[in-house]
Amino acid sequence: MNPHSEVVGDYHVHSTWSDDAVSTVAENIAAASAAGLSVIRLIDHVRESTTWLPQFLAEVAATPVPAGLTVLTGVETKLMNARGDLDLPRGVDGVNAIVIADHQFPGTDGPWSPEVTRQNLAAGLGTAEALDLLVGALIAAMASVPSAQLAHCFSILPKVGLSEDDLTDEQLQAWAAAAAATGTLIEVNEKWGCPGPRAVRAAANARARLVAATDSHSAMDIGRYERVVAIFDEARS
């Protein structure tokens, strides 16, 4: 695994279609080209109630693309529960990927906030059992949609008082094998610094496809990597 071959693209870039981003689709495409990237995936947050997806896709299609750059699209949706259900609107067939995010913890009865998850852990939910819920939800979600991508995977863990170190080798191997079997891309995320080297190594060993992503909400951050390169370097060593 060449840790630097993945950083020729940025697979997680938000535009003003997300309410917490500041750059337009056109500004993001121009920034990716200026950064010398070969691929950019434009994604924005959706819920089941989202109605603007056709307009987003139309804007992307109407925006000129500089030579040498491939523009992909996606929608970032959250895991809803331990069954792997996703918070998706109708009409997502036109996007290139469903980007699965662990914004909340996938609980047995719906998404748990970090506070609720910590309460459940304090009340007796075992660490291994909790991580089985998370890994099982991710595996089920990957199998439920075509052309999936995992966004900042395991970013939820520090928020609930856990870490990637708590994942067993068997859990990571199952997660990585599912990504490989389903063709799911695993992004290594600059903003959140995850997944870490151990998970990246498991993914590489399973021959899952790894890509780099900034999770940028401003065009000035597109294609700027430090943590991602360090994660790939450590995973390789």
Residue 23, CA distances (Å) to 26, 105, 215 in order: 8, 29, 13
Per-position b or e across 198-220, b if 16+ CB within 10 A of its CB: bbbbbbbebebebbbbbbbbebe
Q: Is the pLDDT of residue 2 over 60?
A: no
Domain count, the chain: 1
State the amino acid at position 93 in one-letter form. D
Token reading at 65: 């693309």
Q: Residue range 109-121: average pLDDT? A: 98
Number of H helices, E strands in the chain: 8, 9
Q: Give the domain extent around 206.
A: 5-236
DSSP-H helix ranges across 78-167:
114-122, 127-144, 156-159
Q: Is the pLDDT of residue 159 over 50?
A: yes
Report d(CA 42, CA 108) in Å as an integer. 31
CATH code, domain carrying 54:
3.20.20.140
Chain segment 179-221, per-residue pLDDT in tens: 999 999 999 999 999 999 999 999 999 999 999 999 999 999 9
To the nearest whole number, what is the mean pLDDT of the chain? Answer: 96
pTM: 0.95
Q: Is the pLDDT of residue 230 over 60?
A: yes
Chain segment 20-47, per-residue pLDDT in tens: 999 999 999 999 999 999 999 999 999 9
Chain segment 125-157, per-residue pLDDT in tens: 999 999 999 999 999 999 999 999 999 999 999
How many Cβ atoms from other residues are within 10 Å of residue 129's Cβ? 11
pLDDT value, residue 3: 45
